[in-house]
Structure 1
Amino acid sequence: MKKLPHMSVFTHIVEAGSITGAAESLHLSKSVVSQHLKTLENELGVLLIKRSTRKHTLTCAGINFYDSCKEIDKITEHAWQQAQALKDTPKGCIRITAPNALMDVVIAPAIGQLLKQYPQLETELISGDTQLDLMSDNIDLAIRVGQSRASNIKQRRIGQFRDILCGTDDLVQKKNINKAVYIANKWQGKHISHNFRDENGNEVHYGTTAQCQTNSFYSCLALIKNGAGIGLIPDFQFNMCKPDLCEVFPRLKLPINQVYALHTHDNYLPSSIKVCIEAIEKRLTKLSTR
């Protein structure tokens, strides 16, 4: 890489026709430009330009070397333009991870619309309740519930939802809830504890033991919908399941869950990631206002 600046200055000398002309186009002093050329010739061990008081003439070695330098300039310019294009036009592959509960209702529909709008955009959606590492797992964008404690992660709040403790109408209305089977996702653990708020803001505690656990949100939802027991699902999922499901405690509310978009970019967020975040935020906002 140390050779490239010398080669670039050499190209400018040839195209400007003189060291003076190259110095003016590069906004450098003539002595600095001369030193670049001298260093280049010394390292190569060949004379590139025959210099006199009146004109500069390329040697045979100089002509061949200039042709190679021009090719490098073209490659450099192409790489520069490609990198800048990513800033303005959503394109390329984006790896997105999100919890199961958010993927099919929020993430996938939002990204599906983007793919129609930006044909050069490619996405890989990774659904799972295990949080992947953005760096080691090469994740471009992570959608998570709750903030990350990692100091190297950039995060932005993009929406919210509330969990609903629910079950089938038949189970909730006709069976003693204290005897109902609690169906838990693995991350909830065995011992279940929920703190609700009533209409006056008073806290109401509900605790039980999970008799059924699953490592998949969709398995948990399927069990609840089939009347196996009660469990938590996000409000936007619950709204889609009505009237098959109903709230266990319709007058009580669980705390709001905040949703964040996480990435590792500092000052320059690629447009591909930016439009994905905006589309997911829009979709989540639309669902939460139903």
Structure 2
Amino acid sequence: MDKLRGMETFIAVVESGSFTGAATRLEMSAVMVGKYVALLESQLGTRLLERNTRRQSLTDAGRVYFDEAKRVLEQVSIAESSVERLRAAPAGTLRVTAPTSFGGCVIAPLTASYLQRFPDVRIELDLTNRRVDLVEEGVDLAIRIGDIHSDDLVAKYLCPYRMVICAAPDYLAHHGTPHTPADLVDHLCLSHTVWTARNEWRLPGVEGEVRWKRDAILRCNDGFGLRMAAIAGAGLLLQPEVLVADELANGRLIRVLESYTPQPRPVHLLWRQDLRPLPKLTAFIAHIIKQAPSVPSPFQGEG
């Protein structure tokens, strides 16, 4: 049996709390997980886990072995990283996380062009709006929107994240064009269900801020669905500019209230501090920074 694989499997069982959880994490069957643990216990001559039909717990030997096995695997990872740093060209697996919409529209295409340049790299791109812990989850690079509050990470400004208010030509022809946020009272507005009184968008009005209409005619939990509804003439749409760039360019959606959109938020690249970062990461960061200004619409002008 591969001793390191056995250690990895045992650690996964402990951290996930079950053989089934470990199997999902390691992409193997629960039966195979059980075989690895059984063989490991046989080689060590002692039980590492106490198991019954409802729960499992570590034995005294299991607790000691768990701590030492984690140290061994960490040292193996350090050794592999040290060797990888000696390579002239980027290689290995790069783990990247980005917000769902921005990541899908901007980062995914840039990832494709990066992989064409560096075919020895494999990228795991996690698109999520969850705040990922780079250290705890072993992520190499994060793209985040908004202000950064972290002293233990390197942050590099990438671009502004602009919002736009728009509507289909047919809608504007039927309902008229709003000229100030106060005009929203006479218009049909579309809204995302994640917007609440706590995080809804506020527009800079003539006298203070004006809330984006909370009595929206349509609420949806999917940005694509909202765009399709807006294109069909359902109402005014407030969305990140990058998501509607094509529709604005081809005239399917028209900008309105351009002087009253929310202030752009900054987009940053974040990565862990390392005196000798791996070529796969430094090359990816350089690629994103170089290519991002060429992305249509949201990257022009500012940044």
Provide the residue aligned with 2:233 in structure 1: 227
Percent identical pairs in the alignment equals 19
- C-alpha distance in 2, partners of 1:156/1:235? 21
Partner of 1:185: 192
1:113 aligned residue: 113
Q: Return the alpha-carbon distance in structure 2 between the equivalents of residues 268 and 160 of structure 1.
A: 29
CA distance in 2, matches of 1:227, 1:215: 18
CA displacement at 1:255 relative to structure 2: 1.2
Within 1, Cα distance between the matches of 2:104 and 2:90? 22
Question: 1:131 deviation in Å?
Answer: 2.6
| Range that drifts further, 244-253 or 180-189 | 180-189
Aligned to 1:94: 94
Cα deviation, residue 157, structure 1: 0.6
Q: Please identify the structure whose Cα radius of gyration is greater.
A: 1
- 1:216 corresponds, among 203, 210, 222, to 222
- CA gap of 1:119–1:228, structure 2 versus 1, over 3 A, is same
- SS of 1:113 mapped into structure 2: helix
Q: Report Cα offsets for 1:6-34 as digits up to 9, x if no partner.
A: xxxxxxxxxxxxxxxxxxxxxxxxxxxxx
1:240 counterpart (221, 246, 250): 246
Mapped to 1, the partners of 2:127 and 2:282 lie a distance apart of: 20
The question of 1:262 aligning with 2:263 is answered: no
Q: Which runs of 5+ in 1 are unaligned?
A: 1-74
**CA distance, structure 2, for counterparts of residue 89 and residue 210 of structure 1:** 55
- Mark the CA change 1:159 to 1:250 in structure 2 (over 3 Å): closer, same or farther: closer
Q: Work out whether residues 89 and 271 of structure 1, in 8 Å CA contact, stay in contact via their aligned partners in 2.
A: yes
Aligned residue in 2 for 1:175: 175
The verdict on how the C-alpha distance between 1:194 and 1:82 changes in structure 2, with shifts beyond 3 A counting, is: same
Give the RMSD, CA atoms, in angstroms: 3.0
Task: Say which of 279, 282, 287 aligns to 2:287.
Answer: 279
Q: Is the 8 A contact 1:183 1:231 kept in 2?
A: yes
Q: Given that residues 147 and 155 in structure 1 are in contact (C-alpha distance below 8 angstroms), is that contact kept between their aligned partners in structure 2?
A: no
8 A Cα contact 1:183 1:210, kept in partner: no
Cα distance between partner residues in 2 of 1:150 and 1:110:
26
Q: Distance in 1 between matches of 2:173 and 2:263?
A: 24
The separation in 2 between residues aligned to 1:115 and 1:96, in whole angstroms, is 13
Task: Decide whether the 8 Å contact of 2:100 with 2:127 is kept in 1.
Answer: yes
Change (3 A) 1:140 1:81: closer
Q: CA deviation at 1:138?
A: 2.7
Closer, same or farther: CA 289–115 of 1 in aligned 2, 3 Å = same
Tell me if the contact between 1:146 and 1:258 (Cα under 8 Å) persists in the aligned partners. yes
TM-score (norm 2): 0.59
For residue 28 of structure 1, what is the aligned residue in structure 2?
none
Equivalent residue number for residue 85 of structure 1: 86
Partner of 1:130: 130
- The equivalent residue for 1:289 is 300
SS in 2 for 1:135: helix
> 1 CA distance for matches of 2:286 and 2:294?
12
Q: CA deviation at 1:261?
A: 0.5
Q: Distance in 2 between matches of 1:188 and 1:269?
A: 38
User: After superposition, what is the alpha-carbon deviation per residue over 1:248-290, rounded to whole angstroms, capped at 9, x for unaligned?
Assistant: 3134443122110011233222221222222222333122128
- Whole-angstrom distance in 2 between the partners of 1:181 and 1:129: 28
Task: Name the CA distance, whole Å, in 1 between partners of 2:167 and 2:197.
Answer: 19
Task: Give me the whole-angstrom Cα distance separating, in 1, the residues matched to 2:82 and 2:212.
Answer: 59
Cα distance in structure 2, aligned partners of 1:183 and 1:160 = 23
What is the CA distance between 1:98 and its match in structure 2? 1.3
The structure-2 alpha-carbon separation of the partners of 1:97 and 1:241, relative to structure 1 and needing over 3 Å to count, comes to same
Paired with 1:276 and 1:256, the residues of 2 have a C-alpha distance of 25
8 Å contact kept, 1:182–1:229? yes
Cα deviation, 1:223-259, whole Å, max 9, x if unaligned, reads 3333333232222333311211112313444312211
1:256–1:270: structure 2 CA closer, same or farther, 3 Å change rule? same
